[in-house]
Structure 1
């Protein structure tokens, strides 16, 4: 009989609770020992929690957004050996891993200037090295504290420059392993004299980060003494403190003026210094604005040679996922292939003028408002789709006089049930029938292949206060008009409240954008890639229609079908739109 083991959050340091920002496995997955299960994040670090042993995920106990702490149950693992309590993530981790702040303080203490510590120790015989440095001023070397079980980690960000003034606990660098990224704080306040590391360096416990000039009246004396005076001989160290105190005090006074001059020189040099994080210079990004991605994704990107600054994240809080990196590589490869050859040499590539930079305030009063997150995401997608897909739009009209009468009758019959049938439900049903007759409209391009889908998931554009979103009705071919009416109403409500899940906006095969409740006669809807077509619907209006003997008032609905001309030709689009109009004019045809 297989064992079922509860996998829990191990010791994560001094954090009371951390947020789950990514769940990397699903129920039913088979996982290996040390495979990452979740990613958690605090204000100082993000880390991936690995599995203590191999097995099959029986049930997940947490979700994205949950707050967890040491001992919180992550999941139940079936077929796993019950070795977690003494494993890497159990009590052994607690015993082997001292608290980070204590380790930092101890390392900083042991790395303080030797001469500075000797002066103070000879004065009272009891003060620790770090206390001596803080009390009398001087210089201290800040080193990497205990970082757990990692032999070495990579420096991915340098957060300070030479000449910067830093406070105690201010972050100095960001380091990253294959499981976690963390910021290393300063153990002291002072001015950065020199940096010992740069981006890309491999560091471990005890590696020097920087030399810090400690704030204090005697700081310059200690810095000068530490760099210019050799260590005292053993005989001198054994003399009584009272005999050595006077010469040392004189030396402190003699070096004070030199310290002031050096401080002025440091301030002058600070103005012309360059950022130590040169890798980010090409993106004009602030030092604290690295792309938001987990350590494993960063490692994956480095292996592929991808600059994450150019990758757009699709995860929570715009977090970059592994799939985003893969998609970026696929597009880069496709783009480089398309950009080669004579067409590129002849100017066939897309080359446009830079966007104009205008100071609008000089022409009159202005107000600047940040785009919502939805508009930022949808704007980038719309721009890509418009540039990369050759759009053509076919416009037609459908006589929905009888269909509108049926819709009103159904609403009266189902008034007590609380179901309100809209024209969108009929449009979805009619589009499914048209897609079944013209399958190339229910497809996607994959390189040189056309993927014809055997399922019918219809997306519809929903207008929300924060921007446009596209919920998806799954398996629309298997649902009736009343079912479609209920589901569209529920999804539209969730969209307005901002409660749609990512899964409710994925997997669409064809989309409908309806402006019927607002106005307009025709428009060109932008195709929602990787789909190949989209239907735009404008406001219906009563128009005189010739029936062969006289003009009759008929309710006409404008239909605007945008299609990808790489997949669909004009004749096919005209047939699709005409057939759709026939279905809407006589809905009985759907039963045929």
Structure 2
């Protein structure tokens, strides 16, 4: 029996089609302008940079203590990420080669730590820039990061909010991801991924104990810095993370 229109059309009049392999096409859509821009930038990043990722698991107990202390003593709403940003800025001061861009064959390092903090919105991933992190107190970092996040989520950001970054942080730990390979945001030379905190069993003075750990994933452009440089960077970041009380009030 020949098919009728109701057999081949959906309620909106769109015809169901199959490809050459017999697969039924559920939907076809073009990329949005933002998604196309993201795709092009990621493609350019992989085409133009030599990506390598190094990872390190770090004791996070001091991060939690510093966050709790800050929230007790400050009016700002401080998160683990804010304390991690303070630790990152201190690390960038010790390893300036990572606080940098690479364009036209030139490796440029910068005095300011302008850290792009990735924010997930419906249209795609946006990285507003938290400027001059090294000059800010923990309360200022928390307040400004939250303001930038809310500005992006409300769609009220401008291109100026996204420009001038020297390093980027992306946090998938909040979504339950343990570890991942972040993609460098060109023309920057490195990006730090933050995984979720997990409890690990360790042998302590009084036997086994549970301690929380966080995974840092550092992707870097191997043309500019080497694996040993990345290892030292992560080692410094681990030291600042494990001594994170210094970033809290009276720390």
Task: Name the TM-score class by shorter chain.
Answer: 0.7 to 0.9
d(CA) in 2 for partners of 1:485, 1:521: 24
d(CA) in 2 for partners of 1:534, 1:402: 23
Match of residue 493 from structure 1: 150
- Structure 1 unaligned segments of length 5 or more: list them: 1-357
| Residue deviations 1:553-580 (CA, integer Å, cap 9, x gap) | 1110010000000011111100101110
Match of residue 188 from structure 2: 531
Match of residue 422 from structure 1: 79
**1:185-204 maps to which residues of 2 (within 5 A)?**
none
d(CA) in 2 for partners of 1:535, 1:360: 42
**Which structure would you say has the larger RCO, counting Cα contacts within 8 Å and 6 or more residues apart?**
2
SS of residue paired to 1:517: helix
Alignment partner of 1:377 is 2:37: yes
Displacement of 1:550: 2.9
**1:563-578 maps to which residues of 2 (within 5 A)?**
563-578=220-235
Alignment partner of 1:407 is 2:64: no
Displacement of 1:360: 7.2
d(CA) in 2 for partners of 1:508, 1:523: 22
Alignment partner of 1:545 is 2:207: no
d(CA) in 1 for partners of 2:152, 2:92: 26
SS of residue paired to 1:397: strand
CA RMSD of the aligned region, Å? Answer: 2.1
d(CA) in 2 for partners of 1:528, 1:409: 33
**1:321-340 maps to which residues of 2 (within 5 A)?**
none
Match of residue 292 from structure 1: none
SS of residue paired to 2:175: coil
Contact 1:433 1:590 in 2 (8 A): no
Match of residue 435 from structure 1: 92
Displacement of 1:447: 3.4
Displacement of 1:501: 0.7
Contact 1:583 1:590 in 2 (8 A): no
Match of residue 468 from structure 1: 125
**1:184-223 maps to which residues of 2 (within 5 A)?**
none
| Residue deviations 1:308-336 (CA, integer Å, cap 9, x gap) | xxxxxxxxxxxxxxxxxxxxxxxxxxxxx
**1:168-183 maps to which residues of 2 (within 5 A)?**
none
Displacement of 1:406: 2.7
Match of residue 511 from structure 1: 168
SS of residue paired to 2:161: helix
Contact 2:66 2:245 in 1 (8 A): no
d(CA) in 1 for partners of 2:53, 2:219: 4
Change (3 A) 1:511 1:538: same
d(CA) in 2 for partners of 1:412, 1:521: 29
Contact 1:476 1:484 in 2 (8 A): yes
Q: Count matched residues.
A: 232
- Structure 2 unaligned segments of length 5 or more: list them: 1-17
Match of residue 363 from structure 1: 23
d(CA) in 2 for partners of 1:375, 1:457: 24
d(CA) in 2 for partners of 1:545, 1:389: 38
Contact 2:100 2:107 in 1 (8 A): yes
TM-score (norm 2): 0.86
Larger Rg: 1
Among candidates 447, 459, 466, match of residue 104 of structure 2: 447
SS of residue paired to 2:38: helix
